[in-house]
Chain A
Amino acid sequence: AQSVTQLGSHVSVSEGALVLLRCNYSSSVPPYLFWYVQYPNQGLQLLLKYTSAATLVKGINGFEAEFKKSETSFHLTKPSAHMSDAAEYFCAVSVTAGTALIFGKGTTLSVSS
């Protein structure tokens, strides 16, 4: 069965610093991978997705993620953090059409000035 692990429940960075949020997946077949962002008391918004095309995926708000099969990872990065990036981020995986996404437990990103 597939699963996803987000390393670090809370990440703190300074404004302008690199953002790195870690996600590792477990799957016996090529996965589809997603990153979502959630602002307080709101639903989730899709940041980016990997669907077996390019391994480096660019998303909204300057975020990108790289699929590394050898490391079973799909880490999310942004070169320079902005105060508005403070939110909770979820990694999700799916491998089979018609089954529901499996989400990680989330990483809360704090950005200080």
Chain B
Amino acid sequence: DGGITQSPKYLFRKEGQNVTLSCEQNLNHDAMYWYRQDPGQGLRLIYYSQIVNDFQKGDIAEGYSVSREKKESFPLTVTSAQKNPTAFYLCASSSWTGLGDGYTFGSGTRLTVV
């Protein structure tokens, strides 16, 4: 079955460490997105990519980086510059326009700073 896989489900980061969250889709979707979810804040856009080797910053891109070397994969790196990284991270994908069918979401990665 087609879908989006995020891994790991839980991730612990030490202060000053970079960590990478994985997102893979087999839906043949062109566009992929990363959102951060905090209680009471809803979903805030970190980065998105519509085609391979191209991506755009969202509202809260500082302290994060992404790459899109393959259509199926859109990993997110949380760098040491991100001062408050503890959150639930959601990856999504869609057709290029993203309008007609909405997004398909992964099951999320919960990142905790220890």
Residues of A within 8 A of B (CB): 9, 32, 34, 36, 41-46, 49, 51, 90, 92, 94, 97-106
- Nearest CB in chain A: distance from B44 CB, A: 8
- A100 adjacent to B99 (CB under 8 Å): no
Contact of A43 among B31, B44, B96, B107 (CB under 8 A): B107
Contact of B50 among A32, A98, A103 (CB under 8 A): A98
- A104 adjacent to B107 (CB under 8 Å): no
- A105 adjacent to B103 (CB under 8 Å): no
- B105 adjacent to A43 (CB under 8 Å): yes
Assembly CA distance A7 to B31 (angstroms): 30
B interface bracket (residues with beta carbon within 8 Å of A): 20 to 34
Contacts A43-B106, A44-B90, A100-B58 given; does A51 touch B99 at CB 8 Å: yes
- B41 adjacent to A98 (CB under 8 Å): no
A sample of 23 inter-chain contacts (CB < 8 A) reads A32-B99, A41-B107, A42-B107, A43-B4, A43-B90, A43-B105, A44-B92, A45-B105, A49-B100, A49-B101, A49-B102, A51-B99, A51-B100, A98-B97, A99-B98, A100-B48, A100-B98, A101-B98, A101-B102, A103-B42, A104-B42, A105-B42, A106-B42
- Nearest CB in chain A: distance from B92 CB, A: 8
Contact of A42 among B4, B50, B108 (CB under 8 A): B108
- A105 adjacent to B41 (CB under 8 Å): yes
For residues 84 through 101 of chain B, which have their beta carbon under 8 Å from a beta carbon of chain A?
A: 88, 90, 92, 96-101
Contact of A34 among B31, B35, B102, B106 (CB under 8 A): B102
